[in-house]
């Protein structure tokens, strides 16, 4: 098998897996639709709360602190993606590649330290 065919054969289940997973849930929901009772009572469709109707939509305001974590996550996730190819190839290049990555991780560790000092990691 040449590499292109291998790629096709290997990643075909990933495509089909999406379809199979979709069908699995879809049939379960259809089964429930056929078996489960349905009432027309409107009170059942109100939002779950402690006995009162909620004011305004719930999904409007989101805390700022979540945003800070997302920004940090993007920085470090991109870094992880950089480390992935390095981890497999640095042995072929030798000590230079290793120390380059040490420098890279040090810079990022400094940035993590900066975020820590600024209080971005502290949940308030």
Per CB under 8 A, residues contacting another protein are 1, 5, 8-14, 16-18, 20-22, 24-25, 28-29, 31-33, 35-39, 42, 44-49, 54, 57-59, 62-63, 66, 69-70, 72-73, 76-77, 80, 83-84, 87-88, 90-91, 94-95, 97-98, 101-102, 105, 108-109, 112, 116, 121-124
The label of the residue with tokens 């779950």 reads 48
Report, in Å, the least distance between residue 5 CB and another protein.
6
What tokens does 96 get?
């230079």
Q: How far is the CB of 51 from another protein (least distance, A)?
A: 14
User: In Å, how far from its chain's centre is CA 88?
Assistant: 24
Q: Which is nearer to another protein, 51 or 62 (CB)?
A: 62
Cα–Cα distances (Å) from 53 to 12, 41, 50, 61, in that order, read 48, 16, 8, 18
* Pairwise CA distance, residues 51 & 3, whole Å: 62
């Amino acid at each position: 098998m040449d590499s292109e065919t291998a790629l096709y054969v290997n990643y075909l289940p990933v495509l089909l897996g999406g379809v199979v997973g979709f069908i699995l849930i879809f049939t379960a929901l259809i089964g429930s639709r056929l078996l489960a009772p349905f009432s027309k009572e409107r009170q059942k469709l109100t939002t779950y709360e402690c006995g009162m109707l909620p004011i305004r939509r719930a999904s409007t305001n989101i805390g700022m602190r979540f945003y800070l974590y997302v920004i940090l996550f993007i920085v470090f996730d991109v870094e992880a993606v950089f480390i992935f190819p390095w981890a497999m190839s640095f042995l072929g290049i030798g000590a230079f590649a290793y120390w380059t990555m040490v420098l890279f991780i040090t810079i990022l560790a400094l940035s993590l330290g900066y975020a820590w000092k600024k209080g971005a990691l502290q949940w308030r």
